[in-house]
Structure formats: C-alpha cells, structure tokens
Chain A
C-alpha cells in the first residue's frame, strides 16, 4: 500500500481536497500532535491531506546578530517560528507534517496555483519533508469544486512548477533585502539621535507607493486655486422649466460673464437645431482581481484588501473561482451551461439565467488581459451551504451579476441635444436615455445610468430664458488617493503584484504613514519620503522597482535565474545602504523632531482632564515605574486626577471614544495575543461599583 501526502495551503482547502478524493466514504479526520490531517482511502492507496497556514518558512538573516544590525546580505530560508515572533502554531504544523512525511512515498503540492502557493508547497516539501520537492507532483486547479479537484488529481503534473516557486523565492528575498536594510537604517539613525525607539519601515514597493501619496499631499498643500464663473440658466419650454448649459463652460474673466448675462436675461430664444446620437455600450469584461476590487470599493466601500479577503473565503467555500487572477477570459471549458444551471437554483438569479440560456449560444465579452494560471473570477454555480454574512453576500452577488452581464447583449443609449440661440449666444439642452437595456438588466444595481428625458421639442420652437445668473467657482486640487485608486496607481506604474498590492496599501496605514479613507500623508510620511529622496533617491524611484518586477516575471518563464536577480539586487543596494550607514547622524538629526512629536502624541490624550481641564498624559510613577494616566495640572492646579492603565504590552491611545462615558479608549498589544481595547475611565468606575459581579469589560478588537 502506497501513501501519498498532499499539501494544501489552508485547512478549508485540505477538507475539500480530501472530500473530492474520497469517492466511497467520507475522509477520516486525524490529529497528529494537535494538527489536523485528513485520511482518504483510494483504491489500494492511502492519501493523507495536510494543510499549511500560509507560509511556514520565511527569509531570515543567516547568523544570530542583533535585530538592529545592518547591512545584512547573508540570508537563508528558516522555519517561520525561528524567523519571526509569535509563530507557535506554524512550528506545530511543521513538526507534524515532517513526522507524517516519513510514512509517505509520494508527494503532491496542492496549494493555490500561483507564485505564493507554489512557493508555500515547495518550501514545505523541501525543508519539512526531507527534500521531497525533487520527486513531488503538482495539482493545478482554479476552483475547489469536487469535479475540478478530481480532474486535477487525475491529471497531476509529474513535477513541481519550480520556475514559479523560484520566482516567489526571489521576490521574498529581494523584498527582505530591501526592507531589512533600509528600515533598519532609518530606525537606527532615529534611535541614535533621539534615543527613542520607533519602527520606521520602507520597502521596495512600499517606498515608491508611499511617494505617490506624499506627492499628492504636497500638490494639495501647495495648491493655489483660480476663480472661474459659470452661467446658471433656466429656460421655459411650454411651461416646463429645464436647466440649460451655455456654450462657454467656464469664464475666466468675471466681466465677460456679466456682459453675457446682460445680453441674454429676460430674452426669448429659438431652438435652432435638434441632434440625436445613438451609442452602443458593450457588456463589461469578466472580473480580474483589480477590477473586482475596484467595483467592490465603488459599490460597497470595501478596501482592496477586504475585498480580496472576502473573495478568498468565497473561493474556500467553493462558490467562486480563484480570485488572485489577472485574466479577463472565461474559456468555455469552465462549463457556462452548468454554471447557469447551478445559479438558477438561487431565487435571485433564476429568471436572468433562464433568459440567458434561452437567448442561444453563450459568448462572454472577454477582455485583453490573460493569466497563464487562471481564468477570470467566476461563480462556480455552487449554492452557499451556510448563511453568508452581509459582506460575503454582497461580493458574491457582484461576482455572479458580473459573470451574467458579460454574456449579455450590447446595450444602446441615445443622447439628445437641442441648440437654443439667443442672439449670438448658444445654449444647450441635453438628455439621454437607454433604448435597449441588454446586459444592463443583468448587471442589476451595479450598472448605473442617469437618464434625463427632454420634453418633445421642435426646431424653430420659441423658448424663454426665465433665469440666468452667475456662479463663482474655483479650480480644485487633485483628490487624495483612496485605497482603491492607490492600488490602481500601483498597477499602472507596474509595481507590486496582484497578490501583494492590497497588503502594501494596508501597511501604509499600520505604519502611521497615512490616515483616513481619503489617504492623508502624515508628517512622518513626508519626512521619511524626503529623507529617502535626498539620501537614496533610487530606492523610491519606480523605475528600478518596475524593472525588477520584469526580471522576476522572467524567472517565471525560465528566461532569468533567481540567483542572478538576487546578486544584482545586492550589488545595487550595497553602496546605497553603506552610504546611509555613514550618514546615520545626519539622517537621525532630520528624524529627531518628528520622532519626538510622535512620541509626545503617543502619550498625550485628546480628552481634557474631567476635573480641571488640563492636558492628560500617560506617565510613569518615578518610584514604582508603573504607568498611569496623570493630569498635567498636578503642580499648578493641585489636580489629583489619575487613572490606571494596563501595565503590560504596548499601549496605544486610540481616536475612538468610549460609547458609555466618552473618554478616550486605549489599546494594549501583547505578544501572541489579540489586541485589547478598553476605556480607562469605565475600568475605574466599575472597580468603584459596590458589587463587582463580573470581570472588567475589556473588549477584544476584531483583528483579521
């Protein structure tokens, strides 16, 4: 009896693979030192399906130097628990997989079919399974449906997709070299000058991305508007009032606009010409990941990272295909009819799927973009087996309706324009309406068109100007990025990948470089970007990053080697980082004020002392070293107000106010624990309460 070990990326995927491979009975769930495996009996063979927890191995420095040490050029791949803090679970998974692998004589990587999945499987097989990567096979699939998984198992590739795994390794290594050296250079320089520890990070993609936001902020901060005037005109057509446009959209000289008003006010005009044009509106193309993220932001306000997270859950639930795709194609092999049949079991889609199926051959309006590994995102035709939450429901509906809309008929729209003459002046009335809905009715609420219906008009008809006035307006600065538009900017600049861009956008928030949904660059973002621009402009220039992306893509197609790209990166970075090292004092000097400001902000509460109105701060008792919230009116006003705060973990003052008492809430982050959010004021009041029947309410924040 042979034993096959199948490695999947996540526990849910392991279950689906196991279920798909066990034909007669259900797979048996077994636990190896607390780590779940699924055992499947297939003919004479035994199949063990295990799962990773995303990456179990990571790049780390070779030696055991201090975490502040740099430059670092020597690295290797280490189990994640040895490379990063708080990875106990990952350690258990590695140990159990390693143990089980000894029983196996055949190995399959069944992680998601893309760079990350290929790399996750490769490192586990190579390091945890004693070099099994050399004999391992690869299952390739785009959905977790039983049919496709069985098919992928039957047609398993005889060896791993090494080029994809090497491209993944290279990306991690290059990013690690960038991140570790440049971030440590900044952090160390700041520490040297201010003796305050602040994590300052930058990265190969993060640096240029932050620069986009900073440059936009700079544009807004130095913006000088200029005035212009528009005419607001109301005309009366057979007793109906309609707003008209003047032929000149904006006047840059006020007096010119005023004289136009003088010449037209109270006058009658004639309809000189009526024009109508018909436009064809093609159906939308199938969703690639970035289009899905953009639509999810537009309609639901989901950040790109949230949209990807939800899409991945729907994928793991077998409801949609793999979302990390660049493709806008839907090959017929996915089985359009079958999918329509499946969707017709859901009430909301019954009539539209019937309509489509009845309309004849199904041909999607494919886009140009392609992806060698996956088709565009599409619904599998599966019906949700559990109650989807509101966000999942929304995204699922969007994916389904988009899929249906791509098969729809071209829609037609008519635009109407009437030209009104008042002396030498021309005014326009505009209308538009949908003539044939076509795909618009399939896309449902996601296809929005404003229809303006004009009354029946005739050439030569008389109309009167009932109102004409001047509106003063100003030119506007460019708008700030939001997570969705920043992702688009990264995509256009060709930096990052579909899998990593959303995370990088989120990192900018986490590192304190941006705040608010309309991304405002903080003073720290300005300072770090300016330092990088002054001392090492190359690292935040998109050109090098983009070129590197190109080379890494070449590794995927076998035209470039991982070693070559890594060596080239080290050669490129070495003089830059060594240069930074010699300028630590100068850089530190430039960072000192901002670090001090940040530190001050981190200990100063935004709510005043409820007793005396002075500023409240987190301070330490000089004798006991215990921290607490103290009032700065202690000496001048003899105020004795004070509140205890948790003693252990990193304390952060939140902007959030307590819903019960309005006091500022705090968060405590301890190693390996969920962050705890609490109100220091309510904490004390509950302690003072006569009967403390329950524990203090310290609500954990939901962190995903």
Chain B
C-alpha cells in the first residue's frame, strides 16, 4: 500500500504525516511563529497567526493549504 501525503499526490516522507514539499512548508510555518510572536510581544495566538498568514499575498500557496488542513484537523479534535 503506497502512502500518499494527505495534501497532494506525493509520497509521505518516512515516519511523517506529509510529503517533503508539505514538510518544508510545515517547517517554515513553525520556524516563523517565533518571529511573529516576538513581533507582537508574545501576544499572538496560533489562530491569529494563521489568520494573518492566510490573508497575506506573500504567503506561499502550499502554506495556505497546510494551514487550512491544520485548522480543520484542530477543529475535529
């Protein structure tokens, strides 16, 4: 059984939820959170962070798709 990334047709990376492409987006998303949080004196929630990124033209399309996925998953919990 071939295991595909839930967000695209690529194969999942070993012991990971996503493919290399979406993992790269995830890493960037995680890494940038600390800069964003610091920029707003630690007062930015994750949800506000996602909201801001989704509204920006600079944010990569893959990142936006990933955010959507993470939000849906979050709501499901």
**Chain A residues within 8 Å of B, Cβ to Cβ:** 218, 220-228, 252-255, 474-477, 530, 593
Cβ contacts B53-75/A at 8 Å (1 or 0 each): 10010111111000000000000
Question: Residues of B contacting A476 with CB < 8 Å?
Answer: 58
If A222-B62, A224-B32, A255-B41 are given as contacts, then 8 extra A-B residue pairs at C-beta distance below 8 Å, sorted by A number, are A218-B24, A221-B62, A223-B58, A224-B29, A224-B60, A225-B56, A252-B39, A593-B9
Name 30 A/B residue pairs within 8 A (Cβ), A-sorted. A221-B63, A222-B21, A222-B25, A222-B63, A224-B25, A224-B28, A224-B29, A224-B32, A224-B53, A224-B59, A224-B60, A225-B32, A225-B53, A225-B58, A225-B59, A226-B32, A227-B39, A227-B52, A228-B39, A252-B35, A253-B38, A253-B41, A254-B40, A474-B56, A474-B58, A475-B58, A476-B58, A477-B58, A477-B60, A593-B9
Q: Could you tell me the distance between the alpha carbons of A224 and B39 in the complex, rounded to whole angstroms?
A: 15
Q: Could you tell me the distance between the alpha carbons of A250 and B19 in the complex, rounded to whole angstroms?
A: 35
Question: Residues of A contacting B41 with CB < 8 Å?
Answer: 253-255
Interface of B: prevailing SS: helix
In the bound complex, do residue B38 and residue A252 qualify as a contact, i.e. CB atoms below 8 Å apart?
A: yes
Question: Residues of B contacting A228 with CB < 8 Å?
Answer: 39
Q: Could you tell me the distance between the alpha carbons of A221 and B10 in the complex, rounded to whole angstroms?
A: 15
Residue from B24, B31, B35, B38 having most chain A Cβ neighbours under 10 A:
B35
Q: Could you tell me the distance between the alpha carbons of A475 and B35 in the complex, rounded to whole angstroms?
A: 12
Q: How far is the CB of B47 from chain A (nearest CB, A)?
A: 16
A-B pair count, CB < 8 Å, reads 61
In the bound complex, do residue A218 and residue B39 qualify as a contact, i.e. CB atoms below 8 Å apart?
A: no
Question: Residues of B contacting A255 with CB < 8 Å?
Answer: 41
Residue from A218, A223, A593 having most chain B Cβ neighbours under 10 A:
A223
Contact of A221 among B25, B36, B53, B56 (CB under 8 A): B25
Question: Residues of B contacting A223 with CB < 8 Å?
Answer: 28, 58-60, 63
Q: Could you tell me the distance between the alpha carbons of A228 and B58 in the complex, rounded to whole angstroms?
A: 13
Q: Given A220-B60, A474-B58, does the pair A226, B39 have CB atoms closer than 8 Å?
A: yes
Q: Given A223-B58, A224-B53, A593-B9, does the pair A218, B28 have CB atoms closer than 8 Å?
A: no
Q: Given A222-B62, A475-B58, A477-B60, does the pair A227, B28 have CB atoms closer than 8 Å?
A: no
Q: Could you tell me the distance between the alpha carbons of A220 and B32 in the complex, rounded to whole angstroms?
A: 15
Question: Residues of A contacting B29 with CB < 8 Å?
Answer: 224
Question: Residues of A contacting B63 with CB < 8 Å?
Answer: 221-224
Q: How far is the CB of A215 from chain B (nearest CB, A)?
A: 11
Q: Could you tell me the distance between the alpha carbons of A590 and B52 in the complex, rounded to whole angstroms?
A: 35
Q: Could you tell me the distance between the alpha carbons of A440 and B1 in the complex, rounded to whole angstroms?
A: 67
Q: Could you tell me the distance between the alpha carbons of A221 and B22 in the complex, rounded to whole angstroms?
A: 10
Q: Using CB atoms, name the residue of chain B closest to A590.
A: B9
In the bound complex, do residue B60 and residue A222 qualify as a contact, i.e. CB atoms below 8 Å apart?
A: yes
Q: How far is the CB of B49 from chain A (nearest CB, A)?
A: 10
Question: Residues of A contacting B10 with CB < 8 Å?
Answer: 530
Residue from A227, A228, A252, A255 having most chain B Cβ neighbours under 10 A:
A227
Residue from B25, B32, B39 having most chain A Cβ neighbours under 10 A:
B39
